[in-house]
């Protein structure tokens, strides 16, 4: 089944304790992206990647890191989480058109992170 998976689905952690949220897709998509969703703010893009070893900042990259060492995986790293990073996080992937733009994004089930 074509899908985007995220782990963990739920995580409660403390301020400053490094954590990684994994994202994996089995559709051979070039494009992957991370979003956070907060009440009243919709989805905001954190980072995205056009292909292996190619990443770029989205709208709200502060406090986050990403890496793209393999095409299928795009982990989100919080080096020193803070309470304002408490949010619902979504990973997404998409094929790229011949012109290099993302068409339909497929979203994972989400990771609910609480930082105390």
Pairing label, strands 42-51, 31-38: antiparallel
- What span, in angstroms and rounded, lies between the C-alpha atoms of 88 and 109? 10
- What span, in angstroms and rounded, lies between the C-alpha atoms of 50 and 60? 18
Residue with Cβ nearer other proteins (14 or 41): 41
> Site map for other proteins, 23-42, x if CB under 8 A?
--------x-x-x----xxx
Residue 48 is a binding residue for other proteins (CB under 8 A): yes
Q: What are phi and psi of 115, to 5 degrees?
A: -115, 120
29: closest CA among 74, 90, 67, 75?
Answer: 74
Residue 103 is a binding residue for other proteins (CB under 8 A): yes
Of the residues 50, 67, 86, 95, which one makes contact with other proteins according to CB under 8 A: 50
Residue 1 is a binding residue for other proteins (CB under 8 A): no
The span of 19-27, 67-75, 78-86, 89-97 binding other proteins (CB under 8 A) equals 89-97
């Amino acid at each position: 089944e074509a899908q985007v998976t995220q782990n963990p689905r739920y995580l409660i952690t403390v301020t400053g304790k490094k954590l990684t949220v994994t994202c994996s897709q089995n559709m051979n998509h070039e494009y992957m992206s991370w979003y956070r969703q907060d009440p009243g703010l919709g989805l905001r893009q954190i980072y995205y990647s056009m292909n292996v070893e190619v990443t770029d900042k989205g709208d709200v990259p502060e406090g986050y890191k990403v890496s793209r060492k393999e095409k299928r995986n795009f982990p989100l790293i919080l080096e020193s989480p803070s309470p304002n990073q408490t949010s619902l996080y979504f990973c997404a992937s998409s094929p790229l058109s011949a012109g290099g733009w993302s068409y339909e994004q497929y979203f994972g089930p989400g990771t609910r992170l609480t930082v105390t």
